[in-house]
Structure 1
Amino acid sequence: MSKAEELADALRKKLESEAEGKALLDKAIAQWPAEVYRVYDQIETWLAPLVSAGLTTERKSISIRENPSSENRYTYSIDKLSITANRQTLTIEPVARFIMGGTGRIDVKCKKINCYLIKTSSKPNTDDYEWLIEKIPPNGRPRQNTSEFNEENFLSIVEQELGL
Structure 2
Amino acid sequence: MDDVQQLGEMLRHYAESETHKKQQLDVQSARWAQKLNELFGQIEHWLAPVKTVGLLDVQREAYVASGPSVPVEVSTFKTEKLNVQITGKTVEFVPDVMGAGGLVTVAVIGLTAARHGSVSLVLPADKNDWLWKKTNGLKDPDTFAFDANFLASQLQSLIPRERI
Question: Per the shorter chain, which TM-score range?
Answer: 0.7 to 0.9
* 5+ long unaligned stretches in structure 1: 123-127
Which deviates more, 33-42 or 21-30?
A: 21-30
In structure 1, the partner of 2:62 is 61
2:146 to 146, 149, 152: 149
* 2:117 equivalent to 1:116: no
Return closer, same or farther for 1:118/1:163 CA change in 2, 3 Å cut-off.
farther
RMSD: 2.5
2:107: which partner in 1?
A: 107
1:96–1:106 CA contact under 8 A, matched in 2: no
**Would the aligned equivalents of 1:83 and 1:89 in 2 still touch at CA under 8 Å?**
yes
Alignment pair present for 1:90 and 2:87: no
Q: Does 1:80 align with 2:81?
A: yes
Contact 2:111-2:154 at 8 Å conserved across structures: no
Q: Call closer, same or farther: CA 1:161–1:53 in 2, change over 3 Å.
A: same
Shift of the 142–88 alpha-carbon distance from structure 1 to 2, 3 Å rule, reads same
Q: Distance in 1 between matches of 2:10 and 2:100?
A: 30
Measure the CA separation in 1 of the matches of 2:68 and 2:145.
28
Alignment of structure 1 residues 119-134 onto 2, 5 Å = 119-122=123-126, 128-134=127-133
Unaligned runs of 5+ in 2: none
Please state how far the C-alpha of 1:68 moved relative to its aligned partner. 6.8
When normalised by structure 1's length, the TM-score is: 0.79
Q: CA deviation at 1:111?
A: 4.5
Q: What amino acid is aligned across from residue 14 of structure 2 in structure 1?
A: K
Distance in structure 1 (CA, Å) of the matches to 2:17 and 2:26 = 14
When normalised by structure 2's length, the TM-score is: 0.79
Taking structure 1 as reference, are residues 8 and 133 closer, same or farther at Cα in structure 2, changes over 3 Å only? Answer: same
> Residue type matched to 1:121 in 2?
A
How many corresponding residue pairs?
153
Cα distance, 1:96 vs structure 2? 1.6
CA displacement 1:8-54 (0-9 Å, x = unmatched): 21221122111210221133223422210100111111111211222
Higher strand share: 1
Query: Does the CA-based 8 Å contact 1:94-1:105 persist in structure 2?
Result: yes
Identity %: 24
> What one-letter code is carried by the residue in structure 2 that aligns with 1:85?
I
Task: From the superposition, tell whether residues 112 and 161 of structure 1 become closer, same or farther in structure 2 (CA, over 3 Å).
Answer: farther
